[in-house]
Structure 1
Amino acid sequence: MKKIYLMTITLLVFLSSCSVEEEILDEVNGNKVITNPDNAEMIVAPPYAYLRDIQNRSGVWGTLQSVTDELAWPARGSDWVSPDLQALFTHDYNPRNTYIRNTWNSFMLGITRCNVALQYLSAFPKSDKIDGYIAEVRFIRALCMFKLNDNFGKFPFREYTETDYSVTPLILERPAAVQRIIKELNEIIPVLKNKSELPYGRVSKAAAQMLLANVYLNHEVYTGTSKWPETIAACDAIIGSGQYTVADDYWGMFQYDNAKYLQNTESILSVIYDETIGLTGSVWVPITLHYNQRFGNFTSLLNGCCTTPTFVDTWDTSDKRFSDRRLINQLGFNQGLLIGQQYSIAGVALKTRTGEPLAYTKEFSIKNSKEEAGVRIVKFAPNPSTTNTSNAGNDFPLYRLSDTYLMRAEAKFRSNNVTGALEDINYLRNTKRGMPAYTSLDLDKILKERGFELYWEGNRRTDLVRFNKYRDARAEKNFVTPAYKVLLPIPISAIEANSNLVQNDGY
């Protein structure tokens, strides 16, 4: 008998405290599940679960950060030797790069999961509950479309009603894709609920307004026509709702038990993790710390990625976002950027495996680095007492209010409203983060402020492209990237699967 695979959820509070397991149902029982409106939560679970893939080290997050100045994966002797991985940082990527393929496949998987859910949900009798779930799933689909458009410039798309899979899907290129995403978001925003009406972690009206603001913020990149007033209006709607507040404690948002703090302050949309029930995310800490920086149950560390001198040199080290020492007695290291000599919890100066001082340096070689080369970043605090050291349990703030202020400041500045831009950026920088207020502003300061506030949260590639900095020479990439590489290559596997999908120019 044919089998139907469904994600089932034991609901404590939908998506804020749940256990997820895969159950194999026979055709009869499976059809009962997918035709019963009482099981709507089961049907929307796979699209929501997909959001966790956006933090994947070998796919979306790891790929899109690695092509910027925020993240590099140096080869260290015989460790971390991966031509595809190093090619991301040096912009030597091509259509056969496995990490770019993983990223493309991830977004396409997200669209597929959403379309399957929409097929089932649309067959249910209409109700406010079903309409709300449909709008939430359409948001997740629009997010995947935005990411494909932003990074690849085109993608195949079929509507959930198009179930004849022998028909080749439509290829959406940038102008059509942007129009389609804006239309989708404007349709669902009136249907979506406010934060106060939803459990934490669900897609709210403000989440869709945030995605819409991002589309408008980058509209000139995509189409050649700017949409600064529209960007400001979308940000105004979020800020003016009064449902969100900028966090006073920056590092409170990134602790291992950050859910409640995010929920009560900045979180417009968080991707929920919970290590107590096996919902865990990226290996934030093991991938970057040196082998000998052991603490608690963390005994298998990987000494992998680092940030770059280019990014480090943008910082004023007195900025509270640069580092935080609240957990140093439990970890031996600070959160934020780790530079210089590293110590154990007991305060003993650590050494490399060859006996050299474990002192992180700004400089590194992408092709052959020493163990201690490269400044490390620990944005998301580990739980020292966890027994699950492979993956993190921190919730990931996909959208938060600080970014809304930064987007609005940038749109105001680009609209020649410098006074308004200064008010927004100084509210965040001075009032909330305790840094000296700017008395003048330029695009370089705005980009730097975005880096200070949002580093390692997955925005950097899009920002660098918009500020015309993506192609710039930088540490270990001492050349200007060819213009065609601003768009990533379409994976060769995708082109082989669809004869109508044409490779981006230059590859």
Structure 2
Amino acid sequence: MKKIKLFSFIALISVSISCTDDLNTEPVVELSLEQLLAQDPNAINGIMSKLYGSFALSGPNGPGSSDISDDPGESPFLRGIVNLQDFTADGMKNRWGDDGLDQLTTASNWDENNKFFRYLYNRVYYTVPQCNNLLVVLNSVSIENKDQVIAEVKFLRSLAYYYMIDCFGKGVLVTEAQNGVSTPLPESTRTELFNFVESELVQAIENLPQTNSYGRANKYAASMLLAKLYMNAEVYTGTPRYTDALTYINKIINEGGYVLDDDFVEVFSADNYMSSEIIFPLIADAIVSQSFGNTTYIINGSMNSATMTTTLFGNPGGNDAWAGHRATKAWYGLFGPLGSSTDDRADLFWTSGHTYEMTDYKEWTNGYPSTKFRNTNFHSTSGTPTVFSSTDFPLYRLSDVYLMYAECAIRGAGGTLSQAATYVNLVRNRSNATSITESDLTLDFILDERGRELNLEGHRRSDLIRFGKFTGGSYLWPWKGNAQTGTSIPSTYNVFPIPLTALQANPNLTQNPGY
């Protein structure tokens, strides 16, 4: 089966928590987890699907349900990643401006009351206690492949904590050891969270399989997360760890067996579960895992039947084409003047009826919608366009690994520039972009290439911060700092503010400097 489906009995183990309270992790159950697994050891598959689904879905009962006490349409995990990683950066802007979203898209006026910061924070502290609950139970039950299951749970907990480290810079470290604790835990620094996630992933990699069921983590998914952690270690801890990153990058390249798909569009189509380059997806299905997050948010948000033929991309149009996201020239300008590039990626914008300049980010026809993600099949005939997307989100994929290798080589962390050029050309030539040579390999080139290849995949803000170009005025993009041509923003913005609700729930938490 392509998809990990949510089993109906998972409702029995749903955790009722206040997501701003980092300690309230007591499960409300009809059967305890121990009883459930004792009666049916195979129930672990459904329980795991619930944990994996926490990154893609809003809740267990369809798109109108929510695991947390936030709006089920606005608050899914992946939707938060896109909002905070892509719309705050240079490539994409959203026009809706609803109660805080315009502050993200203009990188201005950030404060502790913005609900979109709260959504991602709450999602982290929903997923983490769910993982903790299961880890406690796994210590006292017998199931098949127990060590592997524990490793998968630790990978998922580490993935949640990664976004706490990256986005908020600190938080509360809650593990299975704190289950049942009723007093507020202390604040953990970015370095403390980093060290915990690093140790968890190193351990998990040892017990994860070489291959796993589609949508579940293997050694290389965990290696990728660890490599991401090391790539940003200088930002997170002050100490560069690019050499360590390269160790795990090489493992993925040399041992993982991943191969670039022949066509770039294959990776972002509804049958991308067939992809040979996706290392770890967040799965979507228009029937069994509907969500207003996941790739539905990207595809529907990039469509509008007033200016586009939405059915070409598997979207039915009308009210289901939300007219939200358009690219600025900071993204499509990376390919050079329109119509001048042989790069297939340069053609993945809808230009008819839209303007090159984004003089008003709230005007739909300003800027070019991206058609990179679509809800149509690549390998077979597509059915009738659907409201929800069946396109899986490629959280980690091989082309990113190749570009990470090149960055490490340029930074002097190991590898060779010759091999780096080879990997970069594999990425570029797949899209018919011209080949480069070793002399072309600079940090600025790699940052631009990451923009061309990975935009809308949840990496851009982190990339800009790592390259020293997110805050300040050395690199400007349209509507940075709420100015049409861009303006400097303070270094404060390298992390988001801790949500007010979190500060109120735990008096040990302190606000990030500058907010």
Contact 2:258-2:279 at 8 Å conserved across structures: yes
Question: Hey, what's the Cα distance between the residues in 2 that align with 1:289 and 1:273?
Answer: 18
Question: Hey, what's the Cα distance between the residues in 2 that align with 1:97 and 1:312?
Answer: 29
Q: Which has the larger radius of gyration?
A: 1
Deviation at 1:242?
4.6
Question: Hey, what's the Cα distance between the residues in 2 that align with 1:23 and 1:175?
Answer: 35
Q: Which runs of 5+ in 2 are unaligned?
A: 13-28, 58-74, 377-381, 481-485
TM-score normalised over the length of structure 2: 0.82
Alignment of 1:69-88 (within 5 A): 69-74=90-95, 80-88=96-104
Matched with 2:328 is 308
Contact 1:43-1:120 at 8 Å conserved across structures: no
Alignment of 1:445-484 (within 5 A): 445-471=445-471, 472-477=475-480, 478-484=486-492
Question: Hey, what's the Cα distance between the residues in 2 that align with 1:313 and 1:474?
Answer: 11
Deviation at 1:119?
2.1
Residue 142 of structure 1, aligned match among 150, 155, 158: 158
More strand by share: 1
Q: Which AA in structure 1 matches 2:279?
A: I
Alignment of 1:120-135 (within 5 A): 120-125=137-142, 129-135=145-151
Alignment of 1:383-394 (within 5 A): 383=376, 385-386=383-384, 388-389=386-387, 391-394=388-391
Residue 410 of structure 1, aligned match among 401, 407, 411: 407
Greater relative contact order (CA < 8 Å, ≥ 6 in sequence):
2
User: Which secondary structure does the structure 1 equivalent of 2:512 belong to?
Assistant: coil
TM-score normalised over the length of structure 1: 0.83
Contact 2:304-2:310 at 8 Å conserved across structures: no
Matched with 2:509 is 501
1:52 aligns with 2:56: yes
User: Which secondary structure does the structure 2 equivalent of 1:407 belong to?
Assistant: helix
Question: Hey, what's the Cα distance between the residues in 2 that align with 1:486 and 1:86?
Answer: 18
Residue 258 of structure 2, aligned match among 220, 244, 263: 244
1:23-74 CA-to-partner distances (Å, cap 9, x unmatched) read 6557358763144433222322221111215975752322322111122123
Question: Hey, what's the Cα distance between the residues in 1 that align with 2:145 and 2:507?
Answer: 40
Question: Hey, what's the Cα distance between the residues in 1 that align with 2:144 and 2:34?
Answer: 23
Matched with 2:23 is none
Contact 1:413-1:420 at 8 Å conserved across structures: no
1:166 aligns with 2:197: no
Q: Which AA in structure 2 matches 1:447?
A: L
Matched with 1:348 is none
Contact 1:34-1:120 at 8 Å conserved across structures: no
Matched with 2:318 is 299
Matched with 2:433 is 435
Residue 337 of structure 1, aligned match among 327, 345, 349: 349
Residue 372 of structure 1, aligned match among 359, 365, 369: 365
RMSD (Å), alpha carbons: 2.3
Deviation at 1:365?
1.3
Matched with 1:269 is 280
Q: How many residues align?
A: 450
Matched with 1:220 is 234
Contact 1:122-1:134 at 8 Å conserved across structures: no
Deviation at 1:454?
1.0
Residue 214 of structure 2, aligned match among 179, 200, 204: 200
Select between 281-290 and 394-403 the one with higher mean Cα deviation: 281-290
After superposition, the Cα gap between the structure-2 partners of 1:56 and 1:387, relative to the gap in structure 1 and judged at 3 Å, is farther
Question: Hey, what's the Cα distance between the residues in 1 that align with 2:374 and 2:85?
Answer: 22
After superposition, the Cα gap between the structure-2 partners of 1:361 and 1:436, relative to the gap in structure 1 and judged at 3 Å, is closer
Matched with 2:168 is 152
Q: Give the percent of matched residue pairs that are identical in Structure 1 and Structure 2.
A: 29
